[in-house]
Structure 1
């Protein structure tokens, strides 16, 4: 059984297609205080749906290891699998900015490996790559940025380091940890990171990062309302994840009758600041 093929778009239809989101657009939103909505995405169908609903950025996350493949962590996800899912999302030609994760082991050896892995994702359709961790990752960020590959950094709870962190735990509660995250954020920005995901950190830490690196575009997931935008795993946002959802998640699928309506509500809630709510979706 095949889906019905849509007729070719007319010139007038093409003229009304939204302008694709660029990194310049995201920086302008940050400068104006306009909030950025981001969701993970792993296939063409949801790429079209999310893009049409106004999601500014799609992240082909290695979270697919848990959300799609059924693993208990992101560690088993391979570069080839990330390339495959990036191609699936890119084929939808979303006007959202498209980011792809570098999976575990794809950038750990040396700068040459990081560049090769990133090139594979960019050739698959990614417009930016994301890598986890601070400190040792700064040289990789610099090497990529110098070669024209836009980079999104990721600090706080970094799932690829789940065993080293002792589980999926909030990071930066103690002053020493908070100071380290702020220092690493500055180092990664200086190395060329254009965006940064802050995951599962107290809102005070996200605020300290913003104060220390005011030009850095930050995307929070369990990091409070003071980030430039918010990201959720799509299955969590739509209420499709079995079991208990993380504290920072709001189940928009429970309140709206369709995936389209839930996604539009997510975008609106991020824009007007009603999500995340302090004390309910924050640490």
Structure 2
């Protein structure tokens, strides 16, 4: 049975159970940014992630770097209104936690208080271990994120695969350090399959892969990617389960054609005197 196989809300203990238990079912996680989508995700997923990817998906930004704390809180509130069962996690945006553990606590506490989320997610490995420990000791659950960290895309030189060659040891150490610091889970993004499998075997907290390995303890995707909302963008690690972008464009074109030819509205769409 999956973590979210009952009507009871999913909590941190249920997520922890996905690690190492014989026959454990992988954790299912998708992003959501609005109330209607959150309701759909909530029915099937263990974790709903309000990702800072919303900057690119909803606001047309070139990267996640321009996302603000206010944007995350706004969308977090919307997702919370559509979530009853799944564990809700909100991304901490760039610049809201890196300066110091105290800055991270102040902003994470605000996110949790204003959105009602169960945990926050922040990017970075060894360099963020102190901050993760500071937060978790003060009652703020943290999901970590190592490998390709989009907020550090400029420092990484682009959205490249991570963990090849000697770089593998660095990412392995990142994962070990965030686990030891108290993170309840860690996202492994765009790392090599053998490395993701090794990390999953060696650390004590659940790993959630995105472009990593089927051997991870769970998987996450950006919902707009897996639904095919963008017709011109498909990362290698994304499996499309629908082509909603194409369907939506076809529907919009049909509507425009009906309006221009006066086929819409028809008699059934308008109101008479009686």
* TM-score, structure 1 as length reference: 0.81
1:43 aligned to 2:43?
no
Supply the distance in 2 between the matched residues of 1:67 and 1:94 (Cα, whole angstroms).
24
- 1:90-114 superposed Cα distances (whole Å, 9 cap, x missing partner): 1123310000000000001111110
1:242 aligned partner: 231
CA contact (8 A) 2:42 2:82 kept: no
Runs of at least 5 residues in structure 2 that lack an aligned partner in the other structure: 1-5, 248-274
161, 167, 177: which is aligned to 2:158?
Answer: 167
- 1:174-197 superposed Cα distances (whole Å, 9 cap, x missing partner): 1x2111111111111111011100
CA pair 151-219 structure 1, distance change in 2 beyond 3 A: same
2:188 aligned partner: 198
Structure 1 residue runs of 4 or more that deviate by more than 6 Å after TM superposition? none
1:153 aligned to 2:148?
no
* TM-score, structure 2 as length reference: 0.84
1:89 aligned to 2:79?
yes
2:202 aligned partner: 212
Supply the distance in 2 between the matched residues of 1:65 and 1:50 (Cα, whole angstroms).
19
CA RMSD of aligned residues (A): 1.8
102, 106, 109: which is aligned to 2:96?
Answer: 106
2:240 aligned partner: 251
Question: Which structure is larger by alpha-carbon Rg, 1 or 2?
Answer: 2
Runs of at least 5 residues in structure 1 that lack an aligned partner in the other structure: 1-16, 259-283
Supply the distance in 2 between the matched residues of 1:241 and 1:21 (Cα, whole angstroms).
31
Alignment of 1:14-93 (within 5 A): 18-32=7-21, 33-52=24-43, 54-93=44-83
- 1:210-240 superposed Cα distances (whole Å, 9 cap, x missing partner): 2221x21000000011100100001001110
Supply the distance in 1 between the matched residues of 2:106 and 2:62 (Cα, whole angstroms).
27
Supply the distance in 2 between the matched residues of 1:93 and 1:221 (Cα, whole angstroms).
22
